[in-house]
Amino acid sequence: MNNHTLKNLSLEEIAALRQSLNVIDIKGSSAQFIATLQQKLDNKIVEIQKSNQTPPPPTTKAKGKK
């Protein structure tokens, strides 16, 4: 199976994809696949939320001559 990425999706778009998986009809043969997809999206949402909460690194002031 080829792996591809979806770039430039906002948190809201990823969350919408995740929520849509709650309302689709799932056949027994697809249950594990959908569960894995839900977990991947949940992990990505948490990752984005954590990165949004991380303060930027402190900036160092340039030392001037005295």
Q: What's the start-to-end Cα distance of the chain, in Å?
A: 63
pLDDT digits over 10-59, tens only?
999 999 999 999 999 999 999 999 999 999 999 999 999 998 887 767 77
DSSP state of 30: G
Residue 45 contacts residue 18 (beta carbons within 8 Å): yes
Q: Where are the domains of the chain?
A: 11-53
> Does position 62 have pLDDT exceeding 90, yes or no?
no
Angstrom distance (rounded) from CA 7 to CA 50: 18
Q: Element (H or E) spanning 34, and its range? A: helix 31-53
| Residue 66: predicted pLDDT | 54
